[in-house]
Chains A and B, each alone.
Chain A
Amino acid sequence: MAFLEMVDIVKRYPGVLANDHVDLTVERGEIHAVMGENGAGKSTLMAILYGLQAPDEGYVKLDGKTVFFHSPLDAIDHGIGMVHQSFKLFESLTVWENIVYRREPRRGLFIDAAEAKRQVAALAERYGMPVDPNARVGDLPVGVRQRLEILKALYRQARILILDEPTAVLTPNEATALFGVMRALAAGGCSILLVTHKLNEVMAVSDRITVLRDGRVTARMNTAETSPAEIVRAMTGRNVLLTVPKAPTAPGAVRLEIERLTVSDDDRHAVDAVSLSLSEGEILGIAGVAGNGQGELVEAIMGLRPAASGRIVLNGQDITKLPLAARRAAGLSYIAEDRTRTASAAAASAMDNLSLGFHRNPPLAAHGLLNLGAMRGWARGLIAKFGIKIANERVAVGTLSGGNLQKIVIARELAHDAAVLIAEQPTRGVDVGAIEFIHAELLRERDRGHAILLVSAELSEILALADRILVMYEGRVVAALPRAEADEAILGFYMAGGRAEAA
């Protein structure tokens, strides 16, 4: 009998069948990958398991007994732990305070701090995840914070650990370390549910795989007996090109030149004397673990953040001091990393989302007045051209899937036909099919002679698209190399702070 069984789970949202009679079984000590594109129902299934949602039909059996979770607290009491993609930690508190929160060892009315620290240290020791119990969480790097989330779950005696896209924020080395921890936990009898769409991770670490598509289970596989192509077929229902073919490039004139750009954040240099030059017809990839100054660099180029020193030259024009609108007019467009927070307005219609930035000039506007008919036609044209799945242009974009929303953003930014395109994590959190489409679009832009600055924490993306690669670490460019000389190991070395001299 399986340790965990989710039986015949059905969950309906208005107009959507998120889980359609889904069965999932997990054995004790197993690493079980749950895969699927965005909107396939993975998150809903995990939310049901963690007590965040109640199923409309079906039930959960744990150790042979049927259980009902009314809240995550119930789920935690039954030994289920979840590490969310965005960590749920108190940054101003210490490691031990975060771990024992709500389960503090007490002495009388007071928290027994000494005992708590001892327990945390022992726990960390036992699972081979060294942390300093007295460190303040806000000072810790992302990889350690994730370890903390896992320890938090283990402290609550988790026997089933749900990891939601756990490597999204990690360096390749940190990811490898995490896989080691996962294997050790599994060997100790803990079951792990790994929610991800990264094929190589699933192949590397999981024992079995359940694939969802449109709310239904489309495949159950033993990892040892399957292949990435087979998994992708189960996820998408078709054959997908995992790498888009790429023609050799012939870079032309320099379009964007950055000279010793420094950007301050509080009292440190978020970007430290970065220089780069970008020519038409090439894709310059900026690799690096998220949070090493790439975001600040891009914001400074766009004018969303002031430059402390240095120069930004676009098409021969110094734009260092120009406001954002003027920079866009001078030939910049920008696919922002966070499509929901920055690059779209969820409650606004597709028409409005596609029109912002074009709304001051003909044909969409004249004399300060909008031409609503032209806006409608404009939106319909882009929706058709990019194959965006949406009922009509009046629908609010907050209802779209990640991939479709990203297509809205990309459609709008490519429509600017700007000399330089900044693409920041253009495929983050979008499904495999959309990745293929977006990569092909970016390459087409390059081949049409546009210059593209591609910022991505996803090495596979950098390696698939870039012609040259810069690696950023702690605000500096620590390596610059042509694509031909780069591979995952070399980039991973620089991303973790390795210096060129040491290589």
Chain B
Amino acid sequence: MTARTPAQSPALPPRPSLLPWVSSFLPVLAAIVVGFVVSGLVAYAVGQSPMVMLRELILGAFVGPQFGETVARAVPLVGMTLCAAIPLRAGMVNLGGDGQLVLGGCAAALIALYAPLPDGPRIVAALIGGALVGGAYASLAALGENFAHVPMLISSWLLAYPAKAFCGFLVRTATLRDPVVAWPATYRIASGVRLTPLFEGAPVTEGFLLIAVLAALVIFMDRRSTIGFEIRMRGLNERFARYGGVALDRQTIGVMFASGAIAGLVGAILVLGSQFRFTDNALTAPQYGWSGTLAALLAGGEPVAAVTAGFLFAALQTGGFAMERSVQIPRVLTMVLESVIILFLSMRGAIGRRSQ
């Protein structure tokens, strides 16, 4: 049996039916290996030793206190990976994570500074407030798609600019700006309203627990909830989901809200846990949103793979910084590595097709 309906082109035979898990995992592994080989070659070409590069990357990412740095970086990065992966799982795109992140961070800072609450509840309010603002803002893109058919790919991306500009404006106003710092920023958040480190001297805070619980929740929802099931079915075939009775419009809003809320929460965690004030451009400079989107694409939206990829990228980035510091190999090489991995993964479809 060729297992094919006559409506389809005769040029496409069925894909090989290897174990699906293996066949989806092998290309990822291969891409990572190729990525290391290519960036090793680049290192060699600019007169550096590939083996030194590899050693320093691994030392710089995982050994001793560096592991703490990696985990600290993974908190926002994995968060932003989830922000991108949830819509991707449903076949949608949220490119506006940066805007939602900034709004969430800004809202959290203002709540932490000015809300008339005791310290403890104020932290909680700041976290929830950040998430709600991020979620609500992301839902705007969903509403635009539902009611005016503006593609979310475009609207989510464009909506990030006014969000960033608005927060930048707020921290330049005389009331909110801290005149002591040179850069436009809010006042410093009191120490009682900050997230506390989990270990003495390590940069890992309660924010890590929040993101870890969130990641577990996303994975659980994906595997076991009716909401996750409907999201997955939509991602595999939107028409089928609709035909089966999934209310797509409502789902779009829900998915975008969840995605934006995670971005907002990440913003709040960064502000309350490491920056202690909202500073213009400080949340977007490390490009967590971008790395998160790449990691989510690498995982095809599958949450376990997305969390893994997000963590891997965080390790690469910390490793890259350490490598640059200790042996002066430019950190740019780790970006080469990231790019090559992504490129090879996007190519796998084409390679697979040709070989059949």
- Chain A residues proximal to chain B, CB less than 8 Å: 13-16, 18, 38-39, 41, 43-44, 46-47, 50, 52-53, 84-86, 164-165, 214, 302, 304, 323-325, 328, 334, 336, 338-348, 352, 355-357, 359-360, 365, 368-370, 372, 396, 398-402, 405, 429
Contacts and interface: CB of A to CB of B under 8 A. Distances in A.
B13 A360 contact: no
Interface in B218-233: 224-227, 229-230, 232-233
Interface of B: 1-11, 13-14, 16-17, 20, 224-227, 229-230, 232-233, 236-237, 239-247, 356
Contact of B243 (A46, A304, A372, A399): A304
Nearest to A356: B244
Contacts of B5: 38, 339-340, 402, 405, 429
A357 B236 contact: no
Contacts of B2: 13, 16, 18, 39, 41, 43-44, 401
The prevalent SS among residues of B at the interface is: loop
14 contacts: A38-B4, A38-B6, A43-B2, A43-B4, A52-B9, A53-B10, A325-B245, A343-B240, A345-B237, A352-B229, A355-B229, A368-B225, A401-B3, A429-B7
A336 B245 CA distance: 13
Given A13-B14, A39-B2, A359-B229, A86 B7 contact: yes
A429 B16 CA distance: 23
A430 B309 CA distance: 43
The 3 A-B residue pairs with the shortest CB-CB distance, nearest first, are: A325-B245, A39-B1, A47-B10
A398 B240 CA distance: 13
A401 B7 contact: no
Contacts of B8: 340
Contacts of B232: 348, 352
B16 to A, nearest CB: 4
Contacts of B6: 38, 43, 85, 164-165, 402, 429
A85 B5 CA distance: 11
Contacts, number: 134
A345 B245 contact: no
Contacts of B16: 14-15
Given A345-B237, A346-B237, A370-B229, A16 B3 contact: yes
Contacts of B3: 16, 39, 399-401
B242 A324 contact: yes
A47 B11 contact: yes
A105 B244 CA distance: 51
Contacts of A360: 226
A117 B112 CA distance: 76
A52 B11 contact: yes
B13 to A, nearest CB: 5
Contacts of A15: 16-17
Contacts of A338: 7
B171 to A, nearest CB: 40
B252 to A, nearest CB: 14
Contacts of B7: 85-86, 338, 340, 429
Given A356-B245, A359-B229, 10 more contacts: A18-B2, A43-B10, A46-B10, A341-B237, A342-B239, A346-B236, A356-B233, A356-B244, A368-B225, A402-B6
A112 to B, nearest CB: 33
Contact of A343 (B225, B243, B247): B243
A370 B14 contact: no
B258 to A, nearest CB: 14
Contacts of A345: 233, 236-237, 240-241
B14 A398 contact: yes
A52 B10 contact: yes
A16 to B, nearest CB: 6
Nearest to A197: B6
Contacts of B244: 356-357
Contacts of A47: 10-11
Contacts of A16: 1-3, 14
Contacts of B243: 302, 304, 324, 334, 336, 342-343
Contacts of A365: 226
Contact of A328 (B227, B239, B245): B245
B1 A370 contact: no
A49 to B, nearest CB: 10
B280 to A, nearest CB: 41
A404 B175 CA distance: 69
A41 B2 CA distance: 7
Nearest to B230: A359
Nearest to B238: A345
Nearest to A391: B17
Contact of B224 (A13, A323, A336, A370): A370
B10 A324 contact: no
Nearest to A299: B243
Given A38-B5, A164-B6, A328-B245, A342 B14 contact: no
A437 to B, nearest CB: 17
A399 B4 CA distance: 8
A326 to B, nearest CB: 9
B79 to A, nearest CB: 24
Contacts of A341: 237, 239
Most B C-beta atoms less than 10 A away, residue of A41, A52, A302, A324? A324
A345 B231 CA distance: 13
Nearest to A400: B3
Contacts of B245: 324-325, 328, 356-357
Contact of A369 (B226, B237, B242): B226
A16 B356 CA distance: 13
Contacts of A352: 229, 232-233
A345 to B, nearest CB: 4
Most A C-beta atoms less than 10 A away, residue of B8, B225, B243? B243
A340 B14 CA distance: 14
Contacts of A355: 229
Contacts of A402: 4-6
Contacts of A343: 240, 243
A65 B324 CA distance: 66
Contacts of A359: 226, 229-230
Contacts of A334: 243
A167 B233 CA distance: 34
Most B C-beta atoms less than 10 A away, residue of A44, A323, A359, A401? A359
Contacts of B237: 341, 344-348
A389 B207 CA distance: 50
